[in-house]
Amino acid sequence: MKTAILTALLVLACNNEVAEQRVLLSVEPTSAPAVLVPRTEVTLSVELPSLQLESEALQAAIAWGHALGIPFKRVRRDQRPDITLQEGSYCGGDNRASACAGFGLPSTIHMIPGNYEFAARLIVMHEIGHALGAPHADVGLMRWTSPADYAPACPDATAVLAVAAAQVVAPRELAPCPMPPGGEQPPGSTPTPSSLPE
């Protein structure tokens, strides 16, 4: 909760002169404000229609975990994950969207059937970036444009630094993929996927 600050402008008439006086009113919350502490672990629930799509989504989470030096742990949906990844049908009315996510945790990433399967790992990686606080960027993983012309193997420096600046998570180390001037990832820069711990 935030303390609400109200500013009232009082106009006082005194000896035919008008004087302005600003009065600051502070309204205290009824309970102590929540303190946001960046997470040192991110929990993730993945519910996609095939093992192949789930595998690609988990590879995206592993790539973020490697880039930030923090573990991503797969949990069931009923365990209140930080990120819920599922198919959905609505992304703010844009029927061309591949997926959408909110900023900050907890967040639900909605994958739009028929629009994400061609590049599921990349699209999930991009949306996890949003959930971790990264906005769109002019270059790299967080670009607004279609991933068809840019397929990073893991989060690049632009994305990793944006997440670190958002302070949603507390990175232990920053290990982005190198991004050559042309925007393509160098061959062999794909992280070795392993299963997320449950």
176: in domain? no
Nearest to 106 by CA among 170, 172, 31, 169: 169
34: in domain? no
Which residues constitute the domain of residue 103? 42-166
Q: How many domains does the chain have?
A: 1
Cβ–Cβ under 8 Å, residues 85 and 100: no
Write out pLDDT tens, residues 58-73: 999 999 999 999 999 9
Segment 123-137 mean pLDDT = 96
90 or 141: which carries more pLDDT confidence? 141
**CATH number for position 101:** 3.40.390.10
Retrieve residue 187's tokens: 């061959």
Residue 147 has pLDDT above 70, yes or no: no
Write out pLDDT tens, residues 25-64: 223 334 444 455 788 999 999 999 999 999 999 999 999 9
Q: What is the mean pLDDT of the chain?
A: 76
Cβ–Cβ under 8 Å, residues 70 and 172: yes
146: in domain? yes
134: in domain? yes
Segment 22-27 mean pLDDT = 27
Phi, psi of 5 (to 5 degrees): -110, 120
190: in domain? no
Write out pLDDT tens, residues 99-122: 999 999 999 999 999 999 999 999
197: in domain? no
Q: Express as a percent the part of the chain with pLDDT over 90.
A: 56
- The Cα 47–Cα 70 span in angstroms is 22
pLDDT value of residue 198: 54
Phi, psi of 87 (to 5 degrees): -75, 145
123: in domain? yes
